[in-house]
Structure 1
């Protein structure tokens, strides 16, 4: 192979790497010139050295730091294969993590669009919904206006243990019937949505992995103020009776905070929904 020498400017142009970067590589002993003229400090490289720059660029493209690149360059071919296999596994893990993050982002966007931007506030509508996995915990004498910190804290812990996260939507379920007062309602259980597709590894004594079934639901949404809860619940009851709709006698109420600053007053959107029986 014919050998000839290149200035640092020529190497920079041929490799598409800046002169400043090549000088830095020299200082950290990553890629050094073959010769430095002692009188003017000009750096000279052999044309064959460009091959090693390509290797450095390839390793950087894989996401390696310069320190990791330096270590990789000292490996024998068989050692480099093992090293690259480990990098491949790491990248695959990152890829799967990003996929899950994308799922959560898409879900959150859809929730806000369907819930907070609902144009039919305080109006009964029929919605078709997919099956949704939930984590639920049974309650004892839990009222609508109670603050279930312990229960949701436990649900959050289970989700984190399973590599998921606590959704900002959470809710409860109670029997469908006429109530004289709002405070007569007792939740059967509280729940939070599972926002990832990951299967849970463990079984838990106090919480259960379940599913809200796919199908049509009677639904009404409102901002929680004054007596809106009672008014909207009554609208659902009246709608069922007026249209003689056969429903499963359970009410899901879903809460979504619309104020994300802890220093401000609590504000919530609430959706009440009742599953319609299939024939």
Structure 2
């Protein structure tokens, strides 16, 4: 280490070799040489005889700034630009970065919520042993995007309607959930062909209500509470069997419910070339006493 008796303000200045700076900054010598070549972080002096690089100890502060800006995800070119900012400009820039991080953090939280819901749904469908058996589940409030429909039965594939819901979610920067839902009136049906959805929906993770440009689309929620639930793989007459199982359970146990059936569909293969496979949950909210 080279020493100097010079003082910068109240700070005593020392000279450091590139090896010493590398150890103190936890950066490689190759990185420091590269920073020198691109004029990002240059030595204060280069010995003309042996070409050794020397840095002032006070320069380590600026190296810390470079490392912190890189940690924010900035490119080295952007770091160079930021280092030229005046203090008041740097405050504004860092505030903008803070807002960006907040937005990214919120996006990650929303993605985590979708993943948790999907995991729980898969556990319900695949891991539980009570498939095709009525059970009672406690459900939290679930935010949804819904679209009013008419003449769409449980046998239809409403690609147009779900496509519109998907567009609304994408326009709002939300994550599209692969759990699809519909709601219709609870009653005895002579045939499943007689069931027509009042609306279709999918879940959303946005807390605030967006500005919607579609009159038929609405942001709302499924209420919290206890629900009668039955789950099954969609094949043959499973839908009709499980729906009637649900109706029989209601009549046998004299349970007061909100007369709306929610059915939730989840595709169980992710390859378009495979035959469609769906797992389904039917649920009805129990009226609070």
TM-score (norm 2): 0.87
* 1:278 alignment counterpart: 288
After TM superposition, give the deviation of residue 39 of structure 1 in Å.
4.3
**Segments ≥4 residues shifted beyond 4 Å:** none
1:76 aligns with 2:86: yes
1:46 aligns with 2:51: no
**SS of 1:142 mapped into structure 2:** coil
**SS of 1:141 mapped into structure 2:** coil
Structure 1 residues 274 and 24: CA distance shift in structure 2, 3 A: same
| CA–CA distance in structure 1, aligned partners of residues 262 and 240 of structure 2 | 14
* 1:200 alignment counterpart: 210
Cα offsets for 1:90-130 (capped at 9, x unmatched): 22222222232233333332332334433210101111212
Q: CA RMSD in A?
A: 2.1
Structure 1 residues 238 and 30: CA distance shift in structure 2, 3 A: same
1:130 aligns with 2:140: yes
Alignment of structure 1 residues 110-259 onto 2, 5 Å: 110-202=120-212, 204-259=214-269
**SS of 1:260 mapped into structure 2:** coil
Aligned residues: 279
Bigger CA drift: 139-148 or 99-108?
Answer: 99-108
Contact 1:104 1:196 in 2 (8 A): no
Give the alignment partner of residue 93 of structure 1, picking from 95, 103, 108: 103
Q: Which runs of 5+ in 2 are unaligned?
A: 1-6
* 1:56 alignment counterpart: 66
1:269 aligns with 2:279: yes
TM-score (norm 1): 0.90
* 1:11 alignment counterpart: 21
After TM superposition, give the deviation of residue 267 of structure 1 in Å.
0.6
Cα offsets for 1:2-50 (capped at 9, x unmatched): 5443321122122222101111111111112233344443323333333
| CA–CA distance in structure 2, aligned partners of residues 211 and 49 of structure 1 | 56
**SS of 2:178 mapped into structure 1:** coil
Structure 1 residues 3 and 181: CA distance shift in structure 2, 3 A: closer
Cα offsets for 1:161-217 (capped at 9, x unmatched): 222233211121222222222212222222212233232233641122332222222
| CA–CA distance in structure 2, aligned partners of residues 196 and 119 of structure 1 | 33
**SS of 2:219 mapped into structure 1:** strand
Structure 1 residues 117 and 199: CA distance shift in structure 2, 3 A: farther
Contact 1:126 1:216 in 2 (8 A): yes
Structure 1 residues 231 and 66: CA distance shift in structure 2, 3 A: same
* 1:67 alignment counterpart: 77
Structure 1 residues 245 and 85: CA distance shift in structure 2, 3 A: closer
Structure 1 residues 275 and 50: CA distance shift in structure 2, 3 A: closer
**SS of 2:101 mapped into structure 1:** helix
